[in-house]
A = this chain, B = another copy of it.
Amino acid sequence: MDEKTLSGRLTDAGHELLQRVYFEDTDFSGRVYHARYLHFMERGRSDFLRLLGIRHNGLAAEGCAFAVRHMTIDFLKPASIDDVVMVRTSTEHVGGARIVLRQEIARDDDILASALVTVALVDARGRAGRLPDRVRNALAGGH
């Protein structure tokens, strides 16, 4: 694995990223802790944006960062230690100030978690602003 393959790959539908379930992701029930699925999804969003040319540290230098505004998530089947899961991300809607992404986490043919995630670009004070055209265009073309 090199740095390039580390970020997953763009697909016709959007992006997919393979991830491993480690000790840190599980809880005493023996399964993955529910909030950890949000981590896997955030990694998928970050790498989707990365492959579209948008980087967190570049945005940070401009004083802004992506923030999740709304999330609807179904936890369908549990993942366990050592599992390999696929994180799939696609663009559902690109608005002036918000993006809605569809994300799912799958293990082979089983969908383990499915979500709709609304993100906005906020400044240092936490205020959402209009998305830069390069971000809008990249995502609008990314589905």
Binding site for B on A (CB under 8 A): 1-3, 5-9, 18-20, 22-24, 26-31, 33-36, 38-39, 42-43, 46-47, 50, 55-57, 60, 65, 67-75, 77-78, 80-82, 84, 122, 124, 126
Are A74's CB and B81's CB within 8 A? no
Q: In whole angstroms, how far apart are the Cα atoms of A33 and B25 in the complex?
A: 10
Main secondary structure of the interface of A (DSSP, over half): mixed
Q: Please tell me how many copies of the chain the complex holds.
A: 4
Known: A6-B84, A50-B82, A70-B74. A34 touches B28 (CB 8 A): no
Residues of B within 8 A of A22 (CB): 39, 42-43, 46
Return chain B residues, CB-CB under 8 Å to A57: 80-82
